[in-house]
Amino acid sequence: MLLPRHHEEEFFSISLDAHIQGQDAQGTKFREKTSTKKINSKEAVFELKTKVCIGTRLKASLFIPKTLILGKPLTLSISGEVVKTVKDSNNHNQQNVFLKLNKNFNIQKAF
């Protein structure tokens, strides 16, 4: 008997302005402006100049712009744990950070 295959959730390649905060690889608090590279309900990928370690907990504020459907801009606050980092092949001063998201999030009107 074959078991059903579990399908990986598809990522959305979307660039949203973001502020990331947490502790860097030396344990110093940081806050960095960046943007998302891709996201789904379980994971988000960002480019960061700040070096972070696997296992680090980060918070992110994503800025969702006003659209025809969305009458007002929103801020989506998410958090999670770094599960992977990869040097950016195009920019060696940055790394792609893979964040496993917590299930809790907050959506607010942007100011």
Mean pLDDT of the chain: 89
- CA–CA gap between residue 50 and residue 24 (Å, rounded): 6
Question: Is pLDDT at 93 greater than 60 in this prediction?
Answer: yes
Bigger pLDDT: 30 vs 5 = 30
Residue 56: how many other CB atoms lie within 10 Å: 19
Count of CB atoms within 10 A of residue 84's CB?
Answer: 13
Of 84, 107, 93, 69, whose CA–CA distance to 38 is shortest?
84
Domain range annotation of the chain? 17-109
Tell me the pTM: 0.84
- Express each pLDDT in 53-71 by its tens digit: 999 999 999 999 998 888 8
Domain 17-109 fold: Pnp Oxidase; Chain A (2.30.110)
Tell me, what's the pLDDT at 90? 77
